């Protein structure tokens, strides 16, 4: 069952990266920063997912 959960998360990763890139493009000029590329937004997204996944797993186990 875990394998299918990982496979289901793949489209979410790409969409999260896309949304992050698009939203950064709106926010960055107001902060005086440059836009980021899709590859950079993917790196940021995977870093956040790696940091948050263990926290989500622990909180999911406590509910059961």
Per-residue pLDDT for 48 more than 70?
Answer: yes
Token pair listed for 21: 């890139």
For residue 60, the model assigns a pLDDT of 72
Q: How confident is the model at residue 23 (pLDDT cuts 50, 70, 90)?
A: very high
Per-residue pLDDT for 45 more than 90?
Answer: yes
**Per-residue CA distances from 52 to 25, 27, 36, 47 (Å):** 24, 23, 22, 9
């Amino acid at each position: 069952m875990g394998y299918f959960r990982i496979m289901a998360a793949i489209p979410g990763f790409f969409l999260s990266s896309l949304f992050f890139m698009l939203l950064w493009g709106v926010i960055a000029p107001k902060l005086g920063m440059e836009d980021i590329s899709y590859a950079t937004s993917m790196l940021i997204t995977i870093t956040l997912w790696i940091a948050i996944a263990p926290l989500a797993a622990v909180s999911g186990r406590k509910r059961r």
